[in-house]
Amino acid sequence: MTDRLTIALAQMNQRVGDLAGNAEAILEVRRRAGDVDLVVVPELQLTGYPPEDLVLKPSFVRRTMEEAARLVALTADGGPALAFGTIVEQDGRRFNALVVAEGGRELFVTLKRELPNYGTFDEKRIFDSGPLPELFAFRGAKIGFPICEDIWLEDVCEHLAAAGADFFLVPNGSPYELDKDERRQTLVRSRVATTGCPIAYLNRVGGQDELVFDGSSFVVAADGELVVQMPDWDEALLVTEWVRGADGWSCVTRASHALDDHPADIYQAMIVGLRDYVGRNRFPGVVLGLSGGIDSALSAAIAVDALGPDKVWGVMLPSGYTSGESVADARGSADLLGIRHDVISIRPGVEALATMLEDAFAGEQPGLAEENIQSRLRMVTLMALSNKFGHMLLTTGNKSEMSVGYATLYGDMAGGYNVLKDAYKTTVFTLSRWRNANRPEGALGPAGPVMPERVITKPPSAELRPDQKDEDSLPPYELLDAILVGLVDEELSVAEVCGRTGAERPLVAEIERLVLLAEYKRRQAPPGVKIGGRNFGRDRRYPITNGFRTGN
């Protein structure tokens, strides 16, 4: 029994499915922690999170348990106890679990009870729910280990508190969303208030496909004070000291770190998501169409900040409708970022397709089909470069366009990843202005502006026909995005959106029709960074064939 404990909180990155690599990273953190009593790592750190349907593969579960047994055995070296997230299989049932090991043996196992099954989460598909957990008695302290979702509902924490818990250590796999820091801390303070127990909230960092984990781990004292705030976005190892006093156990460590404000947090999420996606899928870099417009300019800036200018290749693909301003602005963006820039005209391809389709299109007026040919020829060209040199094609469309189908299937929608997938056009403008005035911490790109000011101020245009402007087909983006937030993010009816925005009912009904009509396109879109509460893909899963309309 002791009145003092040292607990190392390890805010770590991961690679889903890389059991040996994740295990070695856990062991390295344990070595770095030095002479402490206990090292804690995030939820399912051994497998990576979320493992999704890997859990349904028997060989994956078997190898995970073998790797977990190896980790347990390696604690026989006399170092600190280790609490790590893994999978446990019992009687054919698979659980999201936490194992505590010391001295080469397993001291404690607890199973996650509350399985999230909303938004990005689908844990009931792959895991069984554990029983109400027990406390872990460790050197005289009674520690509760609720796992992530276990603290979002009251039962687990109240059960552990009633059993005599001194404090909680909570391993998490909590993805970034707008305003998530505030929601996490509000929740934890409410659990502290109802249980009287201090809580250490440990989260991971890094990108996993569409999800980005921001870390931002923290400790809240029994009186509700935030006494420890770890950094966002970066791996961190913090040794915290816990002392038993007259009023019970408390964390006496004090540490603070300023978290990113808006919109720096969104920008950092995009950097982290792209960096880990490209790196872990072993692409040598990215190639993208640099059109002279704001979406591609911002995508290029994010790519440079994430990967470095030597790994980003911008290609201008002018047609007969491309303005001189756009050619100059694309070159200007490339020069400011210091990236390779090529110009490859698609006019010969457009002429060749016109000849090929001349008989089939005879008697028809030029229109959308001819516009889309230009977009698709650009992607054919970019994919040829990708195939030849290995660079991943970075898609540049924003959420406003994706919502209403203002994007070309097998054209500008093609690619391997899209950092702007969950960013409305108004957010794109906000991020571009911010990045021109700020250099994010840890960015590999330059200080100062990353795109010409004209890219931000000129009217957006796809330049697929003479004098084309986005607002020829769409309402102003300020209004469009407000409508889309209501229809997509908040699932409001047409009438409710009209009341919220002041927009006319026919316009909102038409936008709803376009959103639902474009579902088949979005099913074929590349993954991209999730930043809001209802991204297309993991969060929002609509049927393609769907006759329901709230505007009818």
**Has 401 been labeled as part of a binding site?**
yes
349 is in an annotated binding site: no
Residue 388 annotated as catalytic: no
For residue 412, the 8-state DSSP code is T
* 285 annotated ligand binder: no
292 is in an annotated binding site: yes
- The backbone torsions φ and ψ at residue 394, rounded to the nearest 5 degrees and listed phi first, read -90, 120
| Integer Cα distance of 78 and 40 in angstroms | 17
Positive/negative CA dihedral, 419, 421, 427, 429: positive
Q: What is the dihedral of CA 428, 433, 438, 441, to 10 degrees?
A: 0
- Half-sphere exposure for 187 (CA within 13 Å, toward CB): 18
To the question of whether residue 448 is assigned a binding role by annotation, the answer is no
Active site (annotated) includes residue 148: yes
Q: Which residues pair with 328 in a beta bridge?
A: none
Q: How far apart are CA 165 and CA 336, in angstroms?
A: 56
Is 174 annotated among the ligand-binding residues?
yes
For the chain, the helix, strand and coil percentages under 3-state DSSP, each to the nearest 5: 40, 20, 40
Give just the sign of the alpha carbon dihedral 394, 396, 400, 401: negative
Q: Is 295 among the annotated ligand-binding positions?
A: yes
Q: Quick check: bond before 263 cis, omega within 30?
A: yes
Nearest Cα to Cα of residue 322 among 353, 343, 301: 343
**Candidate list 112, 399, 421, 425, residue with the active-site label:** 112
**Length in residues, the chain:** 552
Number of H helices, E strands in the chain: 16, 19
The 3-state DSSP class for residue 169 equals strand
Q: Hey, what are 81's tokens?
A: 């106890």
Which SS3 state, helix, strand or coil, does residue 10 take? Answer: strand
Tokens at 348, concatenated = 């010969």
Helix H or strand E segment including 97: strand 93-102
Q: How many CB atoms lie within 10 A of CB 502?
A: 9
Torsion, Cα 65 68 70 73, to 10 degrees, reads -120
- Give pairs for 233-238: CB < 8 Å, separation 24+: 233/205, 233/260, 233/268, 233/272, 233/442, 234/11, 234/205, 234/442, 235/11, 235/12, 235/13, 235/205, 236/10, 236/11, 237/8, 237/9, 237/10, 237/11, 237/29, 237/32, 237/33, 238/8, 238/9, 238/11
Query: Residue 486, annotated ligand binder?
Result: no
Does 240 belong to an annotated binding site?
no
Angle at which helix 505-517 crosses helix 494-501, to 10 degrees, equals 130
Q: Is 519 a catalytic residue?
A: no
Name the active-site residue from 43, 114, 123, 463: 43
296 annotated as belonging to a binding site for a ligand: yes
Q: Phi/psi zone of residue 500: left (φ > 0), alpha (ψ -120 to 50 degrees), beta?
A: alpha
Consult the annotation and say whether 388 binds a ligand.
no
DSSP secondary structure code for residue 362 in this structure: T
Q: Which of 123, 148, 399, 425 is catalytic?
A: 148
What gap in Å lies between CA 273 and CA 205, rounded to an integer? Answer: 10
* Binding site listing for L-glutamine: 118, 174, 180
Which residue positions form the known binding site for ATP?
289-296, 396
Active site residues: 43, 112, 148
Annotated binding site for deamido-NAD(+): 372, 401, 521
Indicate the annotated binding residues: 118, 174, 180, 289-296, 372, 396, 401, 521
